[in-house]
C-alpha cells in the first residue's frame, strides 16, 4: 500500500484550476495583460448588497449553521423563481443550495453515477466539469456537438448521439446555453436530446448557469420543463453569472426529492452546507430580480455587439453567454496553434485554450467580452486584430 509521501495518483493527475499552465506568463505581464481568458464580469453587481448593520438584526442567525439543504426562505423563493422563470414545476424541497454551481454538479455526478460508469459530455463544454466527473470516478465520453450545431442547424441530433452510446452510459451532461460556444438550443433540439435520454434511461444533468444571458430575443428551454423527462433531470443554476455574484459561490440544483436527498448527502460530506450568511444576502436579489436582470442582459448584449463588430476575424456570433469561441489554426499544425496562443499572451491578452473545452477543440480559442471594461477591451481587440492580421486570418 503506498504511504507517505505518496499521494493519491487519481488526484494528482487531475487538472488544477484551468489556466494554471499560463499562471507564470500572466503574472509576468501584470497589469499590462487584458484578461479575456476567464469568465467573469468587470462590473459591480446590478443588485446592491444589503451591507449595513440592520442586516444582522434582520438575520441574527447569519453566523450559525443553517439547514444543510439550504436556508428555508431562499429555497422557497428559488422554487418560485424556477416555477416562474424556468417553467419547471418544483416544490421548495426539490431545491438544494450549493457552494457554487460546481458543488451542485459534483453532488449530481456522485449521486447518479457509480465509479467506472460513463457520462456523455456534449462538447465543447465548461472545462471544470471533466474533473468533476473524474473526481467522482466516472468514465467520460465526449460528443462533439455545439460547434456542429452552428455548422449544421438541422443536424439529426438523435442519430448523432446514437453513435456514441455504450452499455456503460448512465448520464448525459448538457451545458446549454453553452460555454464556450454561446449556442442556445431551440425547443426542437432540446426535445431530441430528452427523447434520447428517455430512450436510454439516462440521467440528464442540465447545467443552465448561463440562463438570463441570452440575446436577440431567444429563449431558454429547460429540459426539466417537459414533464415527460423532468424526473430524470438534475438542473443546475448559479448566482455567478446573470446575478454577478461569483464571489459568493452560491448555486442550486433542482431535481426530484430522492435525488435531492442523495445530493445533500454528498454536499454534507464535502462542505457540510452552503454559507448561511451569503444565502441570506441573496434573498432580496432573488425577490427583486426583475428590476435589474433585463438591464444586465441588454448591456452584455451591447458588449457582444461591440466585440463582434470590432474583432476582425470570422467566428459564429454567440447567441448567449459572454464568450466567443473560434478556430485559429488548421488541424495539421499544433505548433502554429501554440505559437499563436503564446503571441496573444506576449502581446498582452490572455486567452483560454480550446483543448480545455473538449478534445476536439485543440485548435480553438475562447475569449470573454465582459471581464474587462470597454476601454481595456478595445485595447485587447486592437492587439488581437494585429496578431490575426499577420496570421492571414482576418
Q: Which of residues 159-218 bind a copy of itself (CB under 8 A)?
A: 167-170, 200-203
Evaluate the CA torsion angle 140, 145, 148, 154 in order and state its sign. Answer: positive
State which of residues 21, 32, 63, 72 lies at the interface with a copy of itself (CB under 8 A).
63
3-class SS of residue 207 = strand
For residue 278, what is the enclosing H or E element? Answer: helix 276-281
Give the 3-state secondary structure percentages of the chain, helix then strand then coil, rounded to 5.
45, 15, 40
**Contacting range for a copy of itself; rule: CB under 8 A; set: 26-34, 107-115, 140-148, 155-163:** 107-115
Residues 254-273 that bind a copy of itself (CB under 8 A): 258-259, 261-262, 264-266, 268-273
User: In the complex, what is the shortest distance from the CB of residue 232 to a copy of itself, in angstroms, rounded to a whole number?
Assistant: 4
3-class SS of residue 203 = strand
**Contacting range for a copy of itself; rule: CB under 8 A; set: 39-47, 287-295, 303-311, 375-383:** 39-47
Q: Which of 389, 367, 379 is nearest to 317 (CA)?
A: 367
Alpha helices (H) in 333-373, listed in sequence order: 334-347
State which of residues 91, 156, 162, 231 lies at the interface with a copy of itself (CB under 8 A).
231
C-alpha span between 133 and 143 (Å, rounded): 15
What is the DSSP-derived secondary structure letter of residue 316?
P
For a copy of itself, which is the closer residue by CB, 74 or 250?
A: 250
- 347 C-beta neighbours (distance < 10 Å), count: 17
State which of residues 24, 27, 31, 115 lies at the interface with a copy of itself (CB under 8 A).
115
- Contacting residues for 305 by C-beta, under 8 A, at least 6 apart: none
Residues 237-256 that bind a copy of itself (CB under 8 A): 240, 244-250
Residue in the block written with cell 502554429: 336
User: In the complex, what is the shortest distance from the CB of residue 331 to a copy of itself, in angstroms, rounded to a whole number?
Assistant: 30
For a copy of itself, which is the closer residue by CB, 112 or 184?
A: 112
State which of residues 110, 148, 221, 289 lies at the interface with a copy of itself (CB under 8 A).
110
User: In the complex, what is the shortest distance from the CB of residue 125 to a copy of itself, in angstroms, rounded to a whole number?
Assistant: 14
Q: Which of 390, 350, 388 is nearest to 372 (CA)?
A: 350
**Contacting range for a copy of itself; rule: CB under 8 A; set: 51-59, 175-183, 314-322, 343-351:** 51-59
Instruction: Determine, following the binding rule CB under 8 A, whether residue 30 of this chain makes contact with a copy of itself.
Output: no
HEC assignment per residue over 121-151: EEECCCCHHHHHHHHCCCEEEEEECHHHHHH
For a copy of itself, which is the closer residue by CB, 143 or 260?
A: 260
Residues 127-156 that bind a copy of itself (CB under 8 A): 128, 131-132, 134-135, 137
Amino acid at each position: 500500500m503506498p504511504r507517505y509521501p505518496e499521494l493519491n495518483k487519481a488526484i494528482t493527475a487531475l487538472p488544477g484550476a484551468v489556466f494554471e499552465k499560463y499562471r507564470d506568463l500572466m503574472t509576468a505581464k501584470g497589469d499590462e495583460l487584458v484578461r479575456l481568458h476567464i469568465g467573469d464580469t468587470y462590473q459591480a453587481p446590478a443588485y446592491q448588497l444589503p451591507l449595513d448593520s440592520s442586516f444582522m438584526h434582520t438575520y441574527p442567525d447569519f453566523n450559525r449553521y443553517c439547514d444543510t439543504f439550504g436556508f428555508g426562505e431562499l429555497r422557497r423563493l428559488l422554487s418560485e423563481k424556477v416555477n416562474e422563470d424556468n417553467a419547471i414545476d418544483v416544490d421548495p424541497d426539490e431545491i438544494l443550495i450549493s457552494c457554487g454551481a460546481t458543488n451542485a454538479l459534483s453532488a449530481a455526478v456522485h449521486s447518479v453515477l457509480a465509479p467506472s460508469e460513463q457520462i456523455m459530455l456534449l462538447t465543447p463544454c465548461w472545462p471544470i466539469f471533466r474533473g468533476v466527473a473524474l473526481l467522482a470516478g466516472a468514465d467520460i465520453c465526449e460528443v462533439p456537438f455545439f460547434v456542429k450545431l452552428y455548422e449544421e442547424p438541422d443536424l439529426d441530433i438523435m442519430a448523432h448521439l446514437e453513435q456514441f452510446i455504450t452499455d456503460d452510459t448512465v448520464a448525459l451532461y448538457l451545458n446549454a446555453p453553452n460555454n464556450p460556444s454561446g449556442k442556445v438550443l431551440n425547443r426542437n433540439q432540446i426535445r431530441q436530446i430528452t427523447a434520447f435520454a428517455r430512450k436510454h434511461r439516462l440521467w440528464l444533468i442540465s447545467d443552465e448557469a448561463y440562463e438570463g444571458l441570452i440575446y436577440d430575443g431567444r429563449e431558454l428551454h429547460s429540459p426539466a420543463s417537459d414533464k415527460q423527462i423532468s424526473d430524470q433531470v438534475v438542473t443546475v443554476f448559479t448566482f455567478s453569472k446573470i446575478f454577478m455574484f461569483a464571489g459568493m459561490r452560491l448555486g442550486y440544483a433542482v431535481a426530484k426529492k430522492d435525488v435531492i436527498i442523495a445530493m445533500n448527502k454528498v454536499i454534507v460530506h464535502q462542505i457540510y452546507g452552503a454559507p448561511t450568511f451569503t444565502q441570506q444576502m441573496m434573498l432580496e436579489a432573488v425577490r427583486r430580480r426583475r428590476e435589474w436582470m433585463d438591464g444586465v442582459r441588454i448591456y452584455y448584449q451591447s458588449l457582444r455587439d461591440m466585440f463582434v463588430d470590432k474583432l476582425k476575424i470570422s467566428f459564429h456570433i454567440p447567441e448567449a453567454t459572454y464568450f466567443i469561441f473560434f478556430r485559429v489554426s488548421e488541424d495539421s499544425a499544433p505548433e502554429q496553434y501554440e505559437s499563436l496562443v503564446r503571441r496573444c499572451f506576449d502581446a498582452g491578452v490572455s486567452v483560454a485554450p480550446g483543448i480545455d473545452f473538449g478534445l476536439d477543440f485543440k485548435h480553438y480559442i475562447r475569449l470573454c467580452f465582459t471581464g474587462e471594461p470597454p476601454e481595456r477591451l478595445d485595447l485587447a481587440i486592437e492587439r488581437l486584430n494585429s496578431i490575426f492580421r499577420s496570421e492571414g486570418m482576418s
